[in-house]
Structure 1
Amino acid sequence: MYRLLVVDDEKDIRENIQYLIDWGRYGINQIETAATYEEAVNKALDIRPHIILMDVKLGDGRWGYELVEHLRASGLKAVCCMISGYDEFTYVQRSMQAAAKDYLLKPINEKELERFVERAIVEELKGRLPQRQVDPPDVDPVLKVEYGTLSRITNKIIMIVKGSYRSSLSLMGIGEMFCMSSKYIGRIFLQDTGMRFSEYLMAYRMIQAKKLIETTGDKIVVIAGRVGYTQLNNFYVHFKEYYGFSPKALRGMEETEKNPCTAVCDEMELPENTHMEGKEEKFPETAAAKESRAEENAAEENEAEEEQGNAGTPESEAGGEAVGKRDI
């Protein structure tokens, strides 16, 4: 029903936005991206988008608000929202003068983006929002707690992870963004969550990878790159440590990997009067079990190396755009 155009000179930003919210839920069934002023003009006049997300400062030395004015002069009546890593009043003022309807700071908060989309559909496009049930509490997918129970700093760190987990992230880089010591914010994050930042980042990447494996037909090596991994072997190890089965087993390609003990248990002879109810009985690992486990691990390593060799090492997504200093 609706068409969306995302204009940003950074590839990871363009890709992140496409997966940041459920666009289909709002009837947005076509998403196009552009990296330069000229490409944006051509795509905008070609697809006639209803909504445009526009970076304030484009990499070719041009300004997003100039592009908004250009498109309006061409007769395009799209609802525009400026996105930027800078919170300077001049940029905000100039964007509003160009008739942009909102101004979102990077990393983009998904709730703020959803609110803009809802306003754009109802107030500007005179459309209807999908009926929604009573929203459950806003719970973090890794921590399983409501965001309202976490400190402001921890919430900001989580927001950055959500927007930039495909890129190279470090607590030191986030500390510089906040103008704070990485040790200080790391200690607060650990106290709030019970997890180190690196553990949280890995867990969030695993959750996103699982979604992609379940909902797309992309190769595992491609998915690894899309969630921030440049080494496929590391991705395989982390995925199996987190979920207990390999990425390919999740797709049903290797059913035995989903329950690797099945074949081993079939080979084990249990005593006749052994009852498995109540307390779980533990048995020593048999030679057959050890051999099966060794073969499984070797096959998995070969599988990862083979796919790495076929597809090449995925390129690491570059770090996000520098942002202006903001108070925490």
Structure 2
Amino acid sequence: MYRLLLVDDEADTREALSSYFPWQEVGFQIIGQCGNGKEALNFIQNHDKIDVILTDIKMPVMSGLELAEVIHEQKHNIHVIFLSSYREFEYAQKALRYRVNNYIVKPAKYQVLLDVFAGLRDELEAAKHALDQPPSGTSNEGLIITQIKAYIQNQYKDANLEDAAKQVYLNANYLSYLFKQKTGQNFTDYLIQVKMKVAMRLIQENQFKTYEISEMVGYSNAKNFTRTFKSYYGKTPSECKNG
């Protein structure tokens, strides 16, 4: 079980999240609840291992954004997910800056929670598997691919082949060859696949404009994003929103 800390100034929200979602079935165990970011930091300091924090954004004393910033600056190995009624693009952009893993809009839909945490579980499993594997031969190549996939899933906005190669201490050209050989898919194609899946989830939540989603998944030009999205899904973002 991966260890999850809930942070929200509304006790009813914490109670609902802890009681009505099947965390253990998805692979998570709630180890505590806090009412603001400062309480969460104190909790972190007094507990050995926390894998994930699910936090509201706007809270008294210390906000979720401030909490994420401290976690990022102190390099805690903790994944952060925002859960907030605030839909503003500014919050989503700051979340990306602090390497927040995801941004869920209240009221959280069951399927969205399930998709987000199942994906995070798979990412954590991949990282754990990578650490457990012996660094030799074919198994080492499999380990490299696992690490690269986890890197892309976590850093899809800014991920690129050169940076990925640095993660595993390989030449970029060789990594490109190895990734294709082991997965049957180009590095760039896999990166686009991850970006498009994230984009589709954001579109289905119907909380952000197309140009905002474009930036959130790493496209500076919304037209290029729309073109790629239509090529991948056969529909434009607007058509998916409306249908």
TM normalised by structure 2 equals 0.49
Question: Max radius of gyration: which structure?
Answer: 1
Higher share of residues assigned helix: 2
TM normalised by structure 1 equals 0.38
